[in-house]
């Protein structure tokens, strides 16, 4: 594999201009290459497993627009369904039959969901679910885990260093203490810490929210018994269990982590894949809890563009494609091959790594591991990851520009793409 220095002149020009127009030159911070150094690549188009930048370079993509494109970018059937829907208008602001169709698909797929509310992003879904947890239980405190991301709403932006764990100190300027005072945090996979929080606050915790498989501090699995333990604890204390499956829903299995592991939360948030590349989120769960949501009940939450026909169409078509026999087996097989190939390439070249995959999600940390939580993940050699990331980019492989992000595969990735990626990784890792 030849790796010539990338020509990215046009990307650099556009990004330089963007920095004068938008904070940091991006519309979402993860797109900047802050943690790996260098400048982001400006995309021109995406198709299947590939992305092309504005200088004409082609990359095998493992970001998949951060999760949605599990069928491959710009899938012809999704695009063609969108063309058809477009002709009938882009937003109704009135009930639309396509909402029923997607709602039925989601309810049938996700074990915990008996009713669903569509919104426009994962952030909105998590904001809605937070209010619902509080409205239904009449309690204000929630437990979240260090390193889990639930969108950028005030209450979820809490840094969870051990010393400040129960103080709920905000993670970003502009977030008032009053917004995070009710946010209790525990290390992921630490059931004892959760028990202690419940013991100290027996009647005031509305619920526990988590990524049932973590993607937002890198790829981290729940330890055996962790999800079961949370299910029991929340029941015992009359609190709700919420799985944030914005990333894992329809990716780890068609019915998400809850289907894969057979643990049913009370409420679930979704996003990413169910919008098929258009802006969508959703929250849903037990019908008696969802009955609280306006206009059925008193908990207010609304959205001008929620449930719009374009987003519903892309979601429906994407889920239809995922329903075809063998899709998840295919995703599992190629992802496992990729993950094992990357780990072996690293170890053969003397690097200390750990990681793994499940279904269409994978991760590799530059640390000995095992990684059970964010603190473990932070032991990774970030400088080495930065060089690895750059090297892979120069070999035509686009990885998420952070050690603390999971990787995503799609139905469009071929065996040959995986082989090329592993070969590139061998070369890059041999040079580090």
Ligand X SMILES: *Cc1c(COP(=O)(O)O)cnc(C)c1O
266-305 positions binding ligand X, by CB under 6 A: 271, 281
Binding of residue 217 to ligand X (CB under 6 A): no
CB of 173 to ligand X, least distance (A): 20
Residues 6+ apart with CB under 8 A from 167: none
CB of 252 to ligand X, least distance (A): 12
Residue 188 bears catalytic tag: no
Binding of residue 211 to ligand X (CB under 6 A): yes
The DSSP symbol for 372 reads -
Measured from the CB atom, the residue of 151 and 285 that comes closer to ligand X is 151
CB of 225 to ligand X, least distance (A): 22
Length of the chain equals: 432
Residue 149 bears catalytic tag: yes
Position among 14, 41, 96, 126 found at the interface with ligand X (CB under 6 A) = 126
Residue 244 bears catalytic tag: yes
Which of these ranges, 144-152, 329-337, 371-379, 409-417, lies near ligand X under the rule CB under 6 A? Answer: 144-152
Q: Are strands 141-145 and 183-186 parallel, antiparallel or unpaired?
A: parallel
Which of these ranges, 96-104, 209-217, 220-228, 369-377, lies near ligand X under the rule CB under 6 A? Answer: 209-217
Position among 25, 122, 182, 396 found at the interface with ligand X (CB under 6 A) = 122
Measured from the CB atom, the residue of 72 and 128 that comes closer to ligand X is 128
CA-based nearest residue to 229, from 189, 260, 186, 269: 189
Binding of residue 185 to ligand X (CB under 6 A): no
User: 381: how many CB neighbours lie within 10 A of its CB?
Assistant: 17
Name residue 378's beta-bridge partners: none
Position among 40, 170, 215, 222 found at the interface with ligand X (CB under 6 A) = 215
Identify the active-site residue in 59, 149, 283, 374. Answer: 149
Angle CA(273)–CA(278)–CA(280) in degrees, nearest 5?
A: 65
Q: Which residue is nearest to ligand X (CB)?
A: 122
User: 414: how many CB neighbours lie within 10 A of its CB?
Assistant: 13
Measured from the CB atom, the residue of 251 and 337 that comes closer to ligand X is 251
382-421 positions binding ligand X, by CB under 6 A: none
Site string for ligand X, 236-255 (x = CB under 6 A): --------x-xx--------
Which of these ranges, 4-12, 130-138, 148-156, 418-426, lies near ligand X under the rule CB under 6 A? Answer: 148-156
User: 73: how many CB neighbours lie within 10 A of its CB?
Assistant: 22
Site string for ligand X, 304-343 (x = CB under 6 A): ----------------------------------------
Binding of residue 170 to ligand X (CB under 6 A): no
Tell me the C-alpha distance between 239 and 208, whole Å: 7
Half-sphere exposure of 112 (CA within 13 A, CB side): 29
Position among 151, 207, 222, 407 found at the interface with ligand X (CB under 6 A) = 151
Strand order in the sheet with 183-186: 115-119, 281-285, 267-271, 240-244, 205-210, 141-145, 183-186
Binding of residue 149 to ligand X (CB under 6 A): yes
73-112 positions binding ligand X, by CB under 6 A: none
- Burial label for 16, CB within 10 Å (0-12, 13-18, 19+), is exposed
Angle CA(16)–CA(122)–CA(331) in degrees, nearest 5?
A: 90
Tell me the C-alpha distance between 243 and 425, whole Å: 34
Q: Are strands 281-285 and 267-271 parallel, antiparallel or unpaired?
A: antiparallel
Identify the active-site residue in 53, 154, 244, 417. Answer: 244
- Phi and psi at 280, nearest 5°, equal -145, 150
Measured from the CB atom, the residue of 54 and 142 that comes closer to ligand X is 142
Which of these ranges, 117-125, 187-195, 201-209, 217-225, lies near ligand X under the rule CB under 6 A? Answer: 117-125
User: 181: how many CB neighbours lie within 10 A of its CB?
Assistant: 16
Contact footprint for ligand X (CB under 6 A): 121-123, 126, 149-151, 211, 215-216, 244, 246-247, 271, 281
Q: Which residues are the active-site residues? A: 149, 244, 272
């Amino acid at each position: 594999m030849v790796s010539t220095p990338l020509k990215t002149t046009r990307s650099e020009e556009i990004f330089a201009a963007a920095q004068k127009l938008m904070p940091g030159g991006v519309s979402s911070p993860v797109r900047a290459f802050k943690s790996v150094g260098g400048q982001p690549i400006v995309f021109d188009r995406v198709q299947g497993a590939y992305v092309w930048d504005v200088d004409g370079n082609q990359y095998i993509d493992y970001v998949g627009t951060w999760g949605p494109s599990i069928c491959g970018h710009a899938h012809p059937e999704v695009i063609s369904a969108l063309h058809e829907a477009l002709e009938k208008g882009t937003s109704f602001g009135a009930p639309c039959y396509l909402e029923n169709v997607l709602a039925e698909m989601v309810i049938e797929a996700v074990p915990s969901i008996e009713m669903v509310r569509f919104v426009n992003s994962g952030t909105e879904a998590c904001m809605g679910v937070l209010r619902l947890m509080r409205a239904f239980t009449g309690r204000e405190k929630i437990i979240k885990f260090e390193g889990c991301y639930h969108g950028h709403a005030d209450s979820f932006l809490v840094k969870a260093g051990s010393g400040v764990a129960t103080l709920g100190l905000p993670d970003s300027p502009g977030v008032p203490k009053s917004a995070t005072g009710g946010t209790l945090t525990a290390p992921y996979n630490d059931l004892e810490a959760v028990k202690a929080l419940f013991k100290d606050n027996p009647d005031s915790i509305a619920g526990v929210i988590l990524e049932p498989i973590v993607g937002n501090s890198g790829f981290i699995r729940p330890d055996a018994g962790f999800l079961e333990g949370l299910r029991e604890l929340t029941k015992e204390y009359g609190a709700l269990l919420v799985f944030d499956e914005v990333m894992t829903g329809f990716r780890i299995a068609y019915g998400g982590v809850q289907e894969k592991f057979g643990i049913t939360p009370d409420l679930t948030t979704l996003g990413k894949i169910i919008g098929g590349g258009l802006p969508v989120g959703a929250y849903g769960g037990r019908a008696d809890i969802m009955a609280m949501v306006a206009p059925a009940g008193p908990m207010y939450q609304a959205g001008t563009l929620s449930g719009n026909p374009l987003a519903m169409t892309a979601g429906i078509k994407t889920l239809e494609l995922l329903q075809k026999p063998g899709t998840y087996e295919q995703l599992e097989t190629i992802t496992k091959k990729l993950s094992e190939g990357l780990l072996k390439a690293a170890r053969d070249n003397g690097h200390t790594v750990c990681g793994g995959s499940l279904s269409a999600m994978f991760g590799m940390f530059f640390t000995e591991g095992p990684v059970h939580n964010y603190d473990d993940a932070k032991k990774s050699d970030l400088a080495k990851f930065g060089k690895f990331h750059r090297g892979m980019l120069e070999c035509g492989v686009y990885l998420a520009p952070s050690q603390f992000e999971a990787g995503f595969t799609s139905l469009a990735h071929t065996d040959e793409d995986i082989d090329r990626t592993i070969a590139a990784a061998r070369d890059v890792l041999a040079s580090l």
